[in-house]
């Protein structure tokens, strides 16, 4: 069964350091999403790609966060510098196309702890 | 803009009892509605979705939900829960014709023996 892969699963870092998360979507899925899920809350969209293009990054803190999907397949989310408030689960999801009615398939997430 | 409110942050229930997890949404346009489940340290998995047609939607693991347009609700139900249903449940909404999905804050279902 095809799955969304994410690495690392867990990351502990000190504030002001740089961190990067990787996501490999289900093969053939054109749309890729990065969400942040703070403990006790629902996922919040950070950035959404259609192939290699960003279609929504309105909630991405662009002074410290960046995301890329250079070849329209896998994607990297970077935080530099990390702050204490960035501690959260970072979820990657993919879907077959850019449409609100399609199912999103989620990876297991990367749990980030900033000390 | 859409919004989602899950009315209960936690729902404790005994095994084999029925359960209802409540979800209300706000939107000025037609919407699509979803319920996802998240087990500890895992990503979200789709339980069911409403796009159009019958207002009663059946999903996986014996769950169903009913779309009520007049009350702007999409409550999730299961007639008899199992220990294995213990998880976090998220209601989500997207604008019909749009591409952004908004998630609620989640309801933690805790099934007791």
pLDDT at A104 over 90: yes
Could you report the per-residue pLDDT of A67-76, keeping only the tens digit for each? Answer: 999 888 999 9
Cβ–Cβ < 8 Å for B17, A71:
no
Q: Do B95 and A104 touch (CB under 8 A)?
A: no
**Chain B residue numbers touching A91 (CB-CB < 8 A):** 43-44
Report the distance separating Cα A5 and Cα A108, nearest Å.
7
Q: Residue A1: is its pLDDT beyond 80?
A: no
Confidence label for A110 from pLDDT (cuts 50, 70 and 90): very high
pLDDT at B73: 97
Cβ-Cβ contacts under 8 Å, B32 against chain A: 100-101
Predicted confidence band of residue A85 (pLDDT cuts 50, 70, 90)? very high
* pLDDT, tens digit, 9 for 90 and up, residues A22-66: 999 999 999 999 999 998 899 999 999 999 999 999 999 999 999
Whole-angstrom Cα distance, residue A29 to residue A3?
A: 11
For tokens 């740089």, name the residue: A18
pLDDT of B61: 93
pLDDT for residue A70: 87
Residue B107 pLDDT: 98
The Cα–Cα gap between A23 and A32 comes to 9
Q: Which has the higher per-residue pLDDT, A97 or A114? A: A114
DSSP B7-59: S-SEEEEETT--EEE-EEEE-SS-EEEEEEEE-TTS-EEEEEEE-SS-SEEE-
- Enumerate chain A positions whose Cβ falls within 8 A of a Cβ in B: 4, 31, 40-45, 48, 55-56, 91, 93, 98-101, 103-104, 106-109, 111
Cross-chain residue pair B43–A108, CB shorter than 8 Å: yes
Residue-wise pLDDT tens digits, B13-23: 999 999 999 99
> Chain B: nearest CA to A111, how far in angstroms?
9
Asked if B63 is an interface residue toward chain A (Cβ–Cβ < 8 A), one would say: no
Please give the structure tokens belonging to residue A9: 């699963």
pLDDT at B29: 87
Q: Chain B residue with minimal CA distance to A105?
A: B45
- A9 φψ region: left (φ > 0), alpha (ψ -120 to 50), beta (else): alpha
Please report, for residues A18, A32, A61, A73, the alpha-carbon distance to residue A58 in angstroms, rounded to integers and kept in the order given. 22, 15, 8, 22
**Looking at the partner chain, which of B99, B103, B104 has a beta carbon nearest the beta carbon of A100?**
B99
> Pick the residue with more confidence: B87 or B40?
B87
Residue of A nearest to B52 (CA): A101
Q: Which residue of A has its CA nearest to B47?
A: A103
Cβ-based neighbours of B10, under 8 Å, separated by 6 or more? B107, B108, B110
Residue B88 sits at the chain A interface (C-beta within 8 Å): no
pLDDT per residue over B48-107, tens digit each? 999 989 999 999 999 999 999 999 999 999 999 999 999 999 999 998 888 889 999 999
pLDDT (tens digit per residue) in A9-19 = 999 999 999 99
Catalogue the long-range contacts made by A102-105 (C-beta closer than 8 Å, 24 or more residues apart): A102/A31, A103/B46, A103/B49, A104/A33, A104/B44, A104/B46, A104/B101, A105/A2, A105/A3, A105/A4, A105/A25, A105/A26, A105/A29
In sequence order, the 6+-apart residues with CB closer than 8 A to the CB of B94 are A100, A101, B2, B31, B32, B34, B100, B101, B102
Nearest to B43 among A41, A42, A91 (CB): A91
Q: Could you tell me which chain B residue has the CA closest to the CA of A38?
A: B105
The DSSP output letter for B101 is E
């Amino acid at each position: 069964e095809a799955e969304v892969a994410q690495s690392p699963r867990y990351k502990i870092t000190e504030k002001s350091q740089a961190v990067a998360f990787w996501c490999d979507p289900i093969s053939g899925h054109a749309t890729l999403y990065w969400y942040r899920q703070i403990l006790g809350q629902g996922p919040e969209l950070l950035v959404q790609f259609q192939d290699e293009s960003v279609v929504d990054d309105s909630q991405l803190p662009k002074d410290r966060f960046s995301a890329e999907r250079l070849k329209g397949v896998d994607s990297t989310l970077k935080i530099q510098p990390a702050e204490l408030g960035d501690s959260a689960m970072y979820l990657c999801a993919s879907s077959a196309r850019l449409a609100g009615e399609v199912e999103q398939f989620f990876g297991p997430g990367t749990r980030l702890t900033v000390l | 803009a859409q919004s989602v409110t899950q009315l209960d942050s936690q729902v404790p229930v005994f095994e084999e009892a029925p359960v209802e997890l409540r979800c209300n949404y706000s939107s000025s346009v037609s919407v699509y509605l979803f319920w996802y489940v998240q087990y500890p340290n895992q990503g979200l998995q789709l339980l069911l979705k409403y796009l159009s047609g019958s207002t009663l939607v059946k999903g996986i693991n014996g769950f169903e939900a009913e779309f009520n347009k007049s009350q702007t609700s999409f409550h999730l139900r299961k007639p008899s829960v199992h220990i294995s249903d213990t998880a976090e449940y998220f209601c989500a909404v997207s604008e019909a014709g749009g591409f952004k999905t908004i998630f609620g804050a989640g309801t933690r279902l805790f099934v007791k023996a």
